[in-house]
Amino acid sequence: MKLFSTLPAATNDEYRKVIKQQMNRMILLALIGLFTLAVVFLGKYAFQLIVDDHTISYYSGIGFGLIFAAAASWFKNKRLLSNEERLKESRLKYTDERIRAIQQKAWQWASITLLVVIYFFMLFGALLYPNYMSELYPVFGICIFSFLVSYFIFFRIYEKRM
């Protein structure tokens, strides 16, 4: 999540703002988790929708997963704020240009891998599970289309800025 922060962090005080921003994002993530739980439980019990057990487990897993992950990260950052030495270590990792370059390369390869996996999933999925895949094709199509469109939009934006 720190990867998405654009705040400067030349000193520990500046880095504290980055950490606080990340803690706020974790609160937002926990709220998304709560919203996920609310959707399925309110749907089933308040609006009497027919929701099977598998769907409830699925939504609960995502909801609780998000809440616990956000809480763990929030407390980790809270501890970091009170320890000057560990804060400095963390700041160096956050600002280190080599680590940033590694992160960018990792994102680049992860994106390529995702596209390749989706491609093969669509290719073999259609042969093995034709009924499911006919419903999943539009979803994959939207994902790939959004990915490519956002790439070209951001490319144009940064082309003008840099």
Which residues are at the interface with other proteins (CB under 8 A)? 10, 92-93, 95-99, 101
Find the shortest distance in angstroms from Cβ 101 to other proteins.
Answer: 8
101 or 143: CB nearest other proteins: 101
9 or 40: CB nearest other proteins: 9
- In the chain, the N- to C-terminal Cα span, in Å, equals 24
99 or 143: CB nearest other proteins: 99
Q: Which letter, b or e, does each residue of 123-142 get, where b requires 16 or more Cβ atoms within 10 Å of its Cβ?
A: eebeeeeeeebeeeeeeeee
Find the shortest distance in angstroms from Cβ 91 to other proteins.
Answer: 8
Distances (CA, A) of 73 to 35, 60, 64, 158: 19, 20, 14, 31
Find the shortest distance in angstroms from Cβ 5 to other proteins.
Answer: 17
